[in-house]
Amino acid sequence: MNVLDRFALHGRKALVTGGNRGLGKAFATALAQAGAAVAIAGRDTDTTAATVHAAAADGLTLVPLTADITDDADVARMTDEAIDRLGGLDVLVNNAGTCFHNESWQVTDAQWAEVFDVNVRALWKCSLAAGRHMADNGGGSIINIGSISGLIVNRPQWQPAYNASKAAVHQLTKSLAAEWAPLGVRVNAVAPGYVKTEMAPVDRPEFRRYWIEDAPQQRYALPEEIAPTVVFLASDAAAFMTGAVLVIDGGYTIW
């Protein structure tokens, strides 16, 4: 087999949560470009429809799903719909997430609960639903979107709930990888640094000193620069990888 063929995803079926914008949109696009059949799930039907329409204009097909992944019944329905409409499920990208910037004294119980509900519990439930199908059907690849925030404390903004949630994602990735390896299910994570999305205001001048100038590469990333690593982890090129947390941060965590 030619080495580049190992990165191809022809015949694979993938589901991306939060796949209708930002990083998730870039992940879904890249997976489709690599040959996978891709479904994207989001709460906002209109945003999802716009993403599907834009992809079609570029010659790519994305299957739209509407789901609130903090609702267990919705997770089950979403997973079943993805399996039915794609003809199976080989790849899950747990991308959906949320964040609040607030110092610890000001973090409300509702904010803490929402961050962990979306970033950890929903990821856990989606992994269980997809992982069971994969285990029963020859294996698959689960890719969790963590963050450098699970490795460091960001500055100048305070975000203790988000940081703790992403550290939990990294450890859950390793725990599921260890347990599910005998079942043929690989579980890995990507830990991006600062990426230009709706969620990260990387262009704001008050953040430049810490977010940009502290990074060896002296810049932020675009979502399209993170997406190839997701394709890699979904593919046979990463067949001997599980339990890994791949940091993509322009060198930010070196120092």
Residues marked as catalytic: 162
Q: Can you spell out the DSSP letters for 198-209?
A: SS--TT-HHHHH
Q: Give, as one character, the DSSP assignment of residue 5.
A: G
**180 Cβ neighbours under 8 A, 6+ residues apart:** 131, 135, 186, 187
Helix (H, G, I), strand (E, B) or coil at 18: coil
Which DSSP symbol is given to 119?
I
Q: What is the CA radius of gyration of the chain?
A: 17
106 burial via Cβ count (<10 Å: 0-12, 13-18, 19+): exposed
200: which 2 tokens? 């990260």
